[in-house]
Structure 1
Amino acid sequence: MQIIDAHHHVWDLAVRDQEWITGPGLAPLRRDFALGELAPQARAAGVDATVLVQTVTAAEETPEFLALAGQSGLVAGVVGWTDLTAPGIADTLAAMRELPGGEHLVGIRHQVQGEPDAGWLLRPDVQRGLAAVAAAGLAYDLIVLDHQLPVATAVATQLPELTFVLDHLGKPPIAGGSLRPWASDVRALAARPNTVCKLSGMVAEAGAGWTTAGLRPYADTVLEAFGPGRLMFGSDWPVCTLASSYGEVVDTAHRLTEGLSEGERAQVLGATAARVYGI
């Protein structure tokens, strides 16, 4: 079974600040996290390949990530960032593919969770950009908060040609133990056949003292809604280190999928990511 970690980050604060790392709760993340730190942990956990995901809205980050992927035996794909509203987005995406490591570009992401406009994804200029992402044969990662799921469903309905990948289950309120209205909203998104979900980010949402039993209702909800063929594991390293070690996150993914058949587990732990991202 090939295991793919479909969601992790790296950053170097000397190169670029991570402005989102604020407050005492995130203080442990205010240091550099390099691929050289992750690689031995991934090998120890049996992870064969990873997908490196953007962290900031800076055009310079994606070429850096592509170059890193080109030099790495671990990173098989990069979900980068570009301005979806730019008139020349199609040319920009094509140019990215020509960069060193450009063959590793598999998707685009924007921090929709931080947009003050609740309908940002439905803006005409954004939808033109998303259509260009689809035309380029790339996926689009949705980083949204739970209350933004209905808008995500609306845009997925309007752009059936684009594969939308929901990061972190849409950030349900795991720490509070609530399933509503998140569960019904995520099921509505899953009803769109062009959507996929990442089994990722749960320990950070649950916080200190999390348990596998506490995560299971959320994992079971997306397993039922999307099915193993549209669900992929991601560690969300290093954000996961706020509440867990990398190895524990991988082990938890195994435990949360232990009720599946071997073929279904293989899909969640690697095959879905390989298919969706073309790895």
Structure 2
Amino acid sequence: MSEAPVLVDAHHHVWDLDIRPQSWLDEPGHEPLRRSFGTDDLRTAATRPIAGRRLECTVLVQCVASVEETREFLALADGDPLVGAVVGWADLTSPAIGDVLDALRAGPGGTYLRALRHLVQGESDATWLQRPSVERGLRAVAERGLGYDLLIRDDQFPQAIRLAERLPGLPLVLDHAGKPPIVRRDLADWERGVRRLAAHPHVRCKVSGLITEADHEKWTVDDIRAGVGGPAGGPSARTG
């Protein structure tokens, strides 16, 4: 019998609450997640094929704004074959961003660093991605052949689109399909944003976390289908 085709989990989080608190877990509805999670938790949960595919490896994604967490994740990737790549964090606004990236790549597991991410969804500045200091940092990311994960709300698409226009050499990945506002039942603006962003060939989309903006008590499979319909169904949208 042939072996099941492989699956790469493109968005995987781990955290150890004894080492680093996760303040977002204090929000209502996150009670089941208020414990530490490691790679063995996923390894145990994925002992059987998922949608007919065998889990091969994951992309470990930063949780908090901490270079130290990124170092820990890279070291974890260096010793655990389940982790195939790391999306880390570094202060894009720092004049030393290039040196920080070089040090991360030269350290243990540094070859696993593939991209950076910042929680832009928590920034109130509607032009945060256009700040000169941020753009300078993102250019340093691109110069090192790394990518950038976009974690944005649906009302932040304009600044993400401007970023894609200004930095065509920076690979961009839209996390959680741009967080469709399922709870509002009006996805028109979100879908327009996804399609405009998808028009840029250096942008990819992760179909993940689709219920983050849904009613966590009442969401349905049809809600998820609505969130997938835009990015996955559009003629110029790409996932991967």
Could you state the TM-score of these two structures normalised by the residue count of structure 2? 0.91
List gaps (5 residues or longer) in structure 1: 232-271, 273-279
User: How far apart, CA to CA, are the structure 1 residues paired with 2:222 and 2:61?
Assistant: 28
- The residue that corresponds to 1:156 in the other structure is 164
Query: Secondary structure at 1:79's aligned position in 2?
Result: strand
- The residue that corresponds to 2:111 in the other structure is 103
- The residue that corresponds to 1:78 in the other structure is 86
User: How far apart, CA to CA, are the structure 1 residues paired with 2:72 and 2:147?
Assistant: 20
Q: Deviations over 1:61-106 (max 9, x none)?
A: 0000001111111110000000001112112111111111111111
**1:128-207 → structure 2 map (5 Å cutoff):** 128-206=136-214, 207=216
Shift of 1:213: 2.7
- The residue that corresponds to 1:225 in the other structure is 234
2:24 is the counterpart of 1:20: yes
- The residue that corresponds to 1:11 in the other structure is 15
List gaps (5 residues or longer) in structure 2: none
Q: Tell me if structure 2 keeps the 8 A contact 1:150–1:189.
A: no
Indicate the RMSD between aligned Cα atoms, in angstroms: 1.6
Tell which has more relative contact order, 1 or 2 (C-alpha 8 A, sep 6+).
Answer: 1
Q: Tell me if structure 1 keeps the 8 A contact 2:198–2:204.
A: yes
Q: Deviations over 1:215-245 (max 9, x none)?
A: 22321210133757x31xxxxxxxxxxxxxx
User: How far apart, CA to CA, are the structure 1 residues paired with 2:33 and 2:211?
Assistant: 15
Q: Tell me if structure 1 keeps the 8 A contact 2:87–2:115.
A: yes
User: How far apart, CA to CA, are the structure 2 residues paired with 1:100 and 1:226?
Assistant: 41
User: How far apart, CA to CA, are the structure 2 residues paired with 1:37 and 1:227?
Assistant: 36
What is the aligned residue count? 231
Q: Tell me if structure 1 keeps the 8 A contact 2:11–2:58.
A: yes
Q: Tell me if structure 1 keeps the 8 A contact 2:179–2:212.
A: no
- The residue that corresponds to 1:252 in the other structure is none
Q: Deviations over 1:104-129 (max 9, x none)?
A: 11110011111121211000110010
- The residue that corresponds to 2:220 in the other structure is 211
Question: What is the letter of the counterpart of residue 44 of structure 2?
Answer: P
* Mean CA deviation greater in 147-156 or 203-212: 203-212
User: How far apart, CA to CA, are the structure 2 residues paired with 1:204 and 1:36?
Assistant: 24
- The residue that corresponds to 1:265 in the other structure is none
Query: Secondary structure at 1:51's aligned position in 2?
Result: strand
User: How far apart, CA to CA, are the structure 1 residues paired with 2:118 and 2:221?
Assistant: 30
Shift of 1:26: 1.8
Question: What is the letter of the counterpart of residue 161 of structure 1?
Answer: G
Query: Secondary structure at 1:7's aligned position in 2?
Result: strand
Q: Tell me if structure 1 keeps the 8 A contact 2:199–2:236.
A: no
Query: Secondary structure at 1:6's aligned position in 2?
Result: strand
Question: What is the letter of the counterpart of residue 219 of structure 2?
Answer: W
Percent identical: 49
Q: Tell me if structure 2 keeps the 8 A contact 1:42–1:48.
A: no
User: How far apart, CA to CA, are the structure 1 residues paired with 2:127 and 2:201?
Assistant: 22
Could you state the TM-score of these two structures normalised by the residue count of structure 1? 0.79
In structure 2, the CA distance between the partners of 1:226 and 1:71, relative to structure 1 (3 Å rule), is: farther
- The residue that corresponds to 1:126 in the other structure is 134
User: How far apart, CA to CA, are the structure 2 residues paired with 1:99 and 1:80?
Assistant: 14
Q: Tell me if structure 1 keeps the 8 A contact 2:25–2:34.
A: yes
Query: Secondary structure at 1:50's aligned position in 2?
Result: strand
Question: What is the letter of the counterpart of residue 221 of structure 1?
Answer: G
